[in-house]
Amino acid sequence: MRFRALVLAALLATPAAAQDWVAGIEATSDTSYTYVTHYTRSGPVTFWQTVSFLRYSVREAGGTTQIESPGIATGLTYRWTQRNWSAAAGAGYEMRWTDRLPPGGVSTTERQQGPIVEGDVFQRLSARTSVRGAARWSGANDWRAGSFEVRREIRRALRAGPQVVWQGNDEIQVFSVGAFAETPLGNSALQLRAGQARIAHRDGTRATQPYFSVGIVVPF
């Protein structure tokens, strides 16, 4: 009940302005991340609230520990915009309820919390081609993520390009190389991503797996 109350408070604690909802899931066989985010824009400032669910496996000497971590976060981002480029920097705060199930053991739940720092840079190279880099860090579970993509407008209703993503913490690290395609949906867009992910576990083992992602995104 307390988790639901926190979610409701985070979603409602924004001023009246231009608003968007985005959601998505990205997954390999060892990891998945599901999220719903509410954006409220007021000039160059964007207020956001996110409800998420992170799942991943940690391979250790004694076996594999399963991690399930629901969380909520809220914060704001400031964006500088010029004719052919834009940049943003933001900060927020996150709370997670992380459940660990060790091999043959009893699950334990830990409440994690900490700041979030994020930023991105967008540069238009031509009328139809642009590049974007983004990075994010959460102090709640020391989760770090970075991405770089090249976006090309194939036709008015289709944008696509290659993408590289790195994410993880001290327990697991995922490096993904693939491509994405998206089509506009009003102020948002439907985006599909797929490729190969190289996963490094804490015990030193590595695996290569396909990954996929589908979501409704805001093309800032």
42-54: average pLDDT? 96
Q: What is the pLDDT of residue 35?
A: 96
Q: Answer whether residue 67 shows pLDDT above 60.
A: yes
Residue 85 confidence (pLDDT): 96
Number of Cβ within 10 Å of residue 148's Cβ equals 15
- pLDDT of 14 higher than 80: no
Residue 208 exposure: Cα atoms within 13 Å on the Cβ side: 4
Residues 6+ apart with CB under 8 A from 38: 11, 14, 19, 20, 21, 48, 49, 50
pLDDT in the model for residue 174: 96
How many angstroms separate the CA atoms of 111 and 10, rounded?
A: 18
Three-class SS state of 158:
strand
> Given this model, what pLDDT does residue 219 score?
59
pLDDT greater at residue 55 or residue 186: 55
Binning pLDDT at 50, 70 and 90, where does residue 63 land? confident
Q: What is the distance of C-alpha 54 from the center of its chain?
A: 10
Judged by DSSP in three states, 23 sits in: strand
Instruction: Please state, rounded to an integer, the average pLDDT across all residues of the chain.
Output: 89
Least trusted range by pLDDT, from 15-24, 96-105, 154-163, 200-209: 15-24
Residue 50 has pLDDT above 50, yes or no: yes
